[in-house]
Amino acid sequence: MNVGMPNREELSEVTKSEPATLFNKEHAASYDERFARLAPLKDSLHLLIRILFSELPERARILCVGAGTGAELIALAQAFPGFEFTAVEPSKPMLEVCRKRAAEMGVALRCTFHHGYLHTLAASEPFDAATSVLVSQFLVQRVDRVAFFDAIAQRLRPGGLLVSADLSADLDAEESRGLKDFWRNMLLYSGVAEEQAGRFLEGWKGDVAVLPPAEVEGIIAEGAFAKPTLFYQSLFIHGWYARRAG
């Protein structure tokens, strides 16, 4: 699975954790290949999202926030030929790869591609469901993360489904120790250089907020969702679904 983190050594001095700079042209171009050996992990998450979304109407409208290069959008579009998608993505290079891949897969006509953040997306009919895969972790301030989920909730119909996946753990807890070694081995297996794999925790500092699962659940629920259900875990990656309250 693409664990989402660019190699900071490739980034310039002025780079901050802004998506437009973190997910720059070089990162976008190599995003899908970089962790290709871990693709089955992502595939299993997508499989579960497909099963979850099979309850949706035939012509469901899906909001993909932080669509990146289109991984979950394409997995869903291929499985559900009646669904329509709106991809929201602040990094232009990532969105351009998404647009190209959607065209290659023959699903682009059912997609709207929005370059920018969710609050800049024009008002529309409510969506039936939303995805946010490895996105909210980049909002390091809790208040911003709550607002992120609240903004998604406002775009959904009541009872609409959210799927959100993020890095999540109590990194200081004893039980995380084994997972840190496991994660490092996973990076080595995927082809990351030994030195870089050994420093992955440093790479997370400042750019991502890796919070314990209960805290992430609290943040999602504060954003106008009913209690989230944890349905997926692979090492530090956790996936939840939740319904818009009311």
- Residues within the interface to ligand SAM (CB under 6 A): 2, 4, 19, 23, 65-68, 71-72, 88-91, 94, 117, 133-135, 138-139, 148
Q: How far apart are CA 49 and CA 164, in angstroms?
A: 10
C-alpha triplet 90, 240, 83: angle, nearest 5°: 60
Q: Which of residues 71 and 156 has its CB atom nearest to ligand SAM in the complex?
A: 71
Position 79: which residue type? A
Q: How far is the CB of 162 from ligand SAM (least distance, A)?
A: 14
Do residues 171 and 209 touch, judged by C-beta distance below 8 A? no
Q: Which residue's beta carbon is nearest to the bound ligand SAM?
A: 68
Q: Which of residues 121 and 221 has its CB atom nearest to ligand SAM in the complex?
A: 121
Q: How far is the CB of 120 from ligand SAM (least distance, A)?
A: 10
Q: How far apart are CA 90 and CA 185, in angstroms?
A: 31
Q: Which of residues 26 and 178 has its CB atom nearest to ligand SAM in the complex?
A: 26
Q: How far is the CB of 18 from ligand SAM (least distance, A)?
A: 8
CA atoms within 13 A of residue 49's CA, in its CB half-sphere: 32
Neighbour count for residue 206 (Cβ, 10 Å): 11
- Mapped onto helix, strand or coil, the DSSP state of residue 88 is strand
CA distance readout (Å), 1 to 20, 221, 226: 21, 26, 28
Q: How far is the CB of 174 from ligand SAM (least distance, A)?
A: 28
Q: Which of residues 88 and 169 has its CB atom nearest to ligand SAM in the complex?
A: 88
Residue with tokens 């437009």: 20
C-alpha triplet 148, 154, 159: angle, nearest 5°: 115
Q: Which of residues 133 and 242 has its CB atom nearest to ligand SAM in the complex?
A: 133
Q: Which of residues 138 and 225 has its CB atom nearest to ligand SAM in the complex?
A: 138
- DSSP letter at 121? S
Q: How far is the CB of 125 from ligand SAM (least distance, A)?
A: 20
Q: How far is the CB of 45 from ligand SAM (least distance, A)?
A: 8
Residue with tokens 């996946």: 165
Q: Which of residues 20 and 173 has its CB atom nearest to ligand SAM in the complex?
A: 20
Q: How far is the CB of 91 from ligand SAM (least distance, A)?
A: 4
Q: In terms of Cα–Cα distance, which of 165, 203, 160 is closest to 184?
A: 203
